[in-house]
Structure 1
Amino acid sequence: MRKPETIERLYLDFDGFFASVEQQCDRRLRGRPVGVVPFEGLGDRGMLIAVSREAKDAGITSLMSIREASSICADLVTVPQKPDLYRRAHNALLSEIETVIPIDTAKSIDELTCILDQDGRREPEDLTRRIKAALRDNIGPYITATTGFAANRQLAKMACKAGKRSRGRYGDGLAIWKPEDMPAPLFTVRMEDIPGVGSRLASRLRGMGIFSSEDLYNLQPKHMRKIWRNVTGERLWYALHGYDIQAQASQRGMFGHGRVLPPGARNPKAAREITRLLLIKAARRLRREYYYAGGIWLWLSITDGSWFRQMPLPIVNDDQAILSALSTLWGHFADDHPGRTTIFRVGVTLYNLSPAGERQLDFLLADDEERRRWEAATTAVDELNAKYGGTVVSLGPWNPPAGGHVGGKISYTRIPSAEDFW
């Protein structure tokens, strides 16, 4: 395994991405502490999903309750999320960065990594200056980014996070972890801030007598493999020691959507309708990526905890079969909760995937003829919606709830496409 002798990776993370995009697009928000909330009408209820630099400097963090954030900063301005705006901003920003350096991978809506050429390895400060100048001059000064440089992507990401608080304020930072300076910068990082560790595993590590990043660094690779119970721990050891370790290719496991329900839709009837729309969106994604599903599950956050049920599907991808299964699951919920129930959040997922070219039918079911008809009808619906760039035809009514974002919510692990917002 190769161990680079110089920096080879750039990791870039946009600062307070959702909130900074809001500030760039709305001059009334510039210079003010801004918090992005799931939808309008929350009042002081709910959580902040993103905050601006000014809000972070005031002590406000993402996932803080609106009530607590307002008590910390009375001047906090909250705005509802605009997922399609963030998607378009992401595409515009990446286009500008590509004029300076090729992007290797967009890791999420607000993070990306690049492989450095010889000039970038020699002059990382100049590369950072050129990237930030392109963003400032062609997009605007309110969307800033922090960059980290290191021998591999894992260390570059950690350097980037360390650079977030450089120069005494949040954001627009730079950190360069050269191999000859390692591992001293790594030892300043909290163990739970190492990607692949997190708070839960860090707690377990402390129970084993491993209290710091330095302690973790000084373990042996086979010991880390034993702790993680798989090869991931050993791969992390090599990454922390500066080796050129590449991320393993991920495999698609499921298609799903979830949503926090608006206050007026926290009853079974409204929640059921929203899950129907979410499931149609998930099924569209399933078909666009040429998969069939062999199972479906429904998850609900309710007054006294949560409710979950799953059921198999006969390897399908058409809306009729999938929605029929959803109706069955809701029937089970009604049986379990016949009285009035408040539902706060919903989630639907299609799992047990099969590539379209590897579909195996259930010979005992004998519904191939019916399935072919429904697949043809669903394909016609998809083609009409694609032609007009929106949902003009659907199986059943199409009435998105207040606040929108049905299936078009931004995920930090998935970059949505334009079709997700139809």
Structure 2
Amino acid sequence: MRKPDTIEHLYLDFDGFFASVEQLRNPALRGRPIGIVPYEGGRSCIIACSREAKAHGVKNIMMVDEAKRICRDLILVPQKPDLYRRAHNELISQIGSVIPVDQVKSIDELSCKLDEGQRADPAGVAAAIKRTIRYNIGASITCSIGFAANRHLAKIAGGTQKPDGISIWRPEAMPAPLLKLPLDDIPGIGKRMEIRLAKAGITTMAALLATQPKQLRALWNNVTGERLWYALHGYAIEAPPTERGMFGHARVLPPDARTLTDAKTISRLLLVKAARRVRRAGYYTKSITLWMQYYEGSGFDSLTLPQVNDDQALLTALASLWERLTSRLTSKTRVMRIGVSLGDLTTANHRQLDFLLDDDSERQKWERLGSALDRLNIKYGKTVASVGFWEPPPGGNVGGKISFTRIPSAEDFW
């Protein structure tokens, strides 16, 4: 395996992205502590917060009541996923004018490969990126940038100089910068893994680096641990491409819409959004799962399907799942969160019909109708036609949630 003798990767992480985009959009929020919440009047948790809020001790995924106790001036701003999506696209375009973007890792993280000239002047590359963002988009949006021999080390390097910093870890200086860090600063080492490492006598970065590749593989119970070992030791290692395993959506329900009736309506919208994504990506699904979290606990149920992707088949399956799942609940059940997922995917060119189920003509009819509805909605850039009623909840954004691994498309907000 190749071990680079120079820096080859840049990793960029936007600082408090959602909050900084809100400050860019609304000058009245600049310089003030703000916390992004899931919906108007939300009292659940802080999705993201500005650097001013972080200076008071506010953290992402902190409960709102706790955040308000430690920062009484905290301004709560409901999330606007479509705004963040558009800001992301513009930022990618602007950064691409300075250096080609190799991989978009999430809504607020990306990586670039360095050519020979860029390796010679990483500080100049970082300054050019920051200057482009500042003058072409706005000074409210800042980023931390790390340089290293591989992408993983570059990500760690950038994280050491937040916010708005630059960190250059050249191979000849390693592993000294790593030795200063706690284990939980390393991507891939969460609380559970830290406990597992401690049981193996590994409690410091020095101890982690002193292990062998197969030892970390055994601790992780898969090849991820071995890849981490090589990444931390500066080897040019790339994670293999991942295959799509499922399509799904989930939503936290606002306090005034947590009845079973409200949850059923939202589950229907979430399913249709997921089904549209399945069709756009050219897949069929063979399983559907419905899950919900309520005050007394949680529950889920699944159904196996023939290979389908049309709304009629999936909505019929959802209705059956809903009856099965809610039969265990009472009418007074308060639903906090609900989600739908479609799994066991098959690409359209590998579909096999079930010879025991003679419904091909029926499926083709519904698929043609679904394609017609999709084309009509694309033409108008919004949902103008659907199978059954279409009643988005207050606040919208059903299906437009931004996760750590997925950036929604414009169609997700229709």
Q: CA shift at 1:265, angstroms?
A: 1.3
Give the Cα separation in 2 of the matches to 1:48 and 1:263: 16
In structure 2, the partner of 1:409 is 401
Matched, 1:233 2:240: no
More displaced 10-residue stretch of structure 1: 61-70 or 248-257: 61-70
SS at match of 2:355: coil
TM-score, normalising length from structure 2? 0.99
Give the Cα separation in 2 of the matches to 1:383 and 1:339: 39
Q: CA shift at 1:298, angstroms?
A: 0.5
1:101-120 alignment runs, 5 A limit = 101-120=99-118
RMSD: 0.8
Give the Cα separation in 2 of the matches to 1:139 and 1:356: 41
In structure 1, the partner of 2:370 is 378
1:207-246 alignment runs, 5 A limit = 207-246=199-238
1:128-207 alignment runs, 5 A limit = 128-164=126-162, 171-207=163-199
Q: CA shift at 1:202, angstroms?
A: 0.8
SS at match of 1:416: coil
Matched, 1:11 2:11: yes
Q: CA shift at 1:105, angstroms?
A: 0.4
Give deviations 1:313-342, integer Å, cap 9, x for gaps. Answer: 111000000011100011012311144211
Q: CA shift at 1:197, angstroms?
A: 1.8
Give the Cα separation in 2 of the matches to 1:28 and 1:119: 41
SS at match of 2:292: strand
Aligned mate of 2:122, from 114, 121, 124: 124
Matched, 1:289 2:275: no
Q: CA shift at 1:229, angstroms?
A: 1.6
More displaced 10-residue stretch of structure 1: 193-202 or 384-393: 193-202
In structure 1, the partner of 2:60 is 62
Q: CA shift at 1:124, angstroms?
A: 0.9
Aligned mate of 2:320, from 323, 328, 335: 328
In structure 2, the partner of 1:40 is 40
SS at match of 2:35: strand
Aligned mate of 1:390, from 382, 398, 403: 382
SS at match of 1:397: coil
Q: CA shift at 1:58, angstroms?
A: 1.3
What is the one-letter code of the residue matched to 1:267? T
Give the Cα separation in 1 of the matches to 2:64 and 2:202: 36
Give the Cα separation in 2 of the matches to 1:366 and 1:213: 61
What is the one-letter code of the residue matched to 1:32? R
What is the one-letter code of the residue matched to 2:11? Y
Q: CA shift at 1:351, angstroms?
A: 0.3
1:290-305 alignment runs, 5 A limit = 290-305=282-297
Structure 2: segments with no counterpart, 5+ residues: none
What is the one-letter code of the residue matched to 1:112? L
Matched, 1:263 2:255: yes
More displaced 10-residue stretch of structure 1: 191-200 or 280-289: 191-200
What is the one-letter code of the residue matched to 1:183? P
Give the Cα separation in 1 of the matches to 2:179 and 2:319: 53
Q: CA shift at 1:152, angstroms?
A: 0.0
What is the one-letter code of the residue matched to 2:219? I
The answer to whether the 8 A contact 2:196-2:219 is kept is no
Give the Cα separation in 2 of the matches to 1:261 and 1:339: 17
The answer to whether the 8 A contact 1:262-1:402 is kept is no
| Aligned length, in residue pairs | 414
Give the Cα separation in 2 of the matches to 1:254 and 1:286: 9
Aligned mate of 2:82, from 84, 103, 114: 84
Give the Cα separation in 2 of the matches to 1:91 and 1:202: 35
The answer to whether the 8 A contact 1:262-1:403 is kept is no
In structure 1, the partner of 2:347 is 355
Q: CA shift at 1:188, angstroms?
A: 1.7
Give deviations 1:156-204, integer Å, cap 9, x for gaps. Answer: 011111111xxxxxx1011111111101111122212211221111111
Q: CA shift at 1:118, angstroms?
A: 1.4
Give deviations 1:95-132, integer Å, cap 9, x for gaps. Answer: 11011000000000000000011122111111111000
Moved beyond 2 Å, runs of 4+ = none
The answer to whether the 8 A contact 2:260-2:331 is kept is no
Identity %: 58
More displaced 10-residue stretch of structure 1: 274-283 or 212-221: 212-221
The answer to whether the 8 A contact 2:9-2:150 is kept is yes
In structure 1, the partner of 2:268 is 276
What is the one-letter code of the residue matched to 1:233? G
In structure 2, the partner of 1:168 is none
What is the one-letter code of the residue matched to 2:230? Y
The answer to whether the 8 A contact 2:34-2:49 is kept is yes
